[in-house]
Homo-oligomer: A and B are copies of this chain.
C-alpha cells in the first residue's frame, strides 16, 4: 500500500528533482506531476523525464494530486500556496521541504485553510543547485523532520511519514518552533559562519585570493563547500528564522570571544580542554552514521 498515488512537486531544483527521482525509484507506480516557475528548468525537467507531466502553471500541476510538495525557497512558500489554492483538491495533503518551519507552517495554514498541512524538512542536500544536481539517494539514511501544527489529522501525518520512509529517510516529528531552534545551530549558524569567513578571506589585502585558494586544504575548503550553497534559499532561511539565528549567533560570539582571550593571554589549557571536548562530538556523529569517517571524507587522493 503506497501512502499516495498522485504526487505533485512544485519547484524542481536540487531538492524537488531529488524527490522526483526518489519517488520514481521507490514508488514507480506513483503518478508524478511537476512545475517550476523558471521555463528553462521546466525544459530540463522535461528532457530528464523527471515527472510524468511538467505543467505550465503550479495550479495545473496540482489539480489531481493527493500530495503536493512545495520545493521552493521558504520566502516563496506563501505566494506559491496562494497560487495553487483554487486548483487544489480538498483532500490533498500539502507539504514542503523548507529549512525553516514556523514561518512556513504559518504561511501554508493562512493560504490553504481547508487542507491538511504537514510541513517537512529533509535534512540533506549538497552545495549544488538546479534540476540536474539532484539524485535519487539524497535522502537515504538522512533525517526528515515533520512539524505538523496542532489539530492536524494524525492520518495525514502518518501518510507523509510513510512517504519519506519509502524514500529511505528516517522521520522525526517536533514543533515548528523547536525545529527552528535545532536547525539554527546544526545548519543555519554553520552556513552563516561559512559565508562570513569565505567573504573575509576574499577581502584581505595582505593575502591574495589565489593564495587563499591554493592553500585551502588546511581547513578553509570545508567552509567553502557550505558557502557555495544556493544564495536565494539561504537569504530566505536567515530572514525567516531570524530570532533563533540571532540567539545562536550571540552565544557563538560569546564563546569565540572567550577563545580569543585565551589565545591573547596564552592560556593553552583552556584551548586544549575545548579541543578535546569537541573531538568527542565528532566521534558520535560518525558512530551514528551521519558522516563518513574515512580520511578526508573519502576524497580521492590521486
Binding site for B on A (CB under 8 A): 99, 123-128, 133, 135, 137-138, 140-143, 145, 172, 178, 181-183, 185-204, 206-207, 209, 211-229, 231-232, 234-236, 238-239, 242, 245-246, 248-249, 251-253, 255-256, 259-260, 263-264, 266, 268, 271-272, 274-279, 281-285, 288, 290-292, 295-302
Q: List 14 A-B contacts (CB under 8 A).
A: A135-B301, A145-B215, A185-B220, A186-B219, A190-B222, A194-B278, A200-B255, A214-B288, A227-B282, A229-B275, A231-B276, A238-B271, A242-B264, A297-B298
In the bound complex, CA of A188 to CA of B140 (Å)? 34
Q: Which residues of B contact A256 (CB under 8 A)?
A: 192-193, 196, 249, 253
- Judging by beta carbons under 8 Å apart, are A195 and B281 in contact? no
In the bound complex, CA of A295 to CA of B200 (Å)? 25
- Judging by beta carbons under 8 Å apart, are A283 and B140 in contact? no
A268 partner, pick from B145, B239, B302, beta carbons under 8 A: B239
- Judging by beta carbons under 8 Å apart, are B221 and A222 in contact? no
- Judging by beta carbons under 8 Å apart, are A186 and B231 in contact? no
Q: Majority SS of interface residues in chain A?
A: helix
Nearest 4 pairs of A and B residues by beta carbon: A187-B218, A228-B282, A231-B275, A190-B219
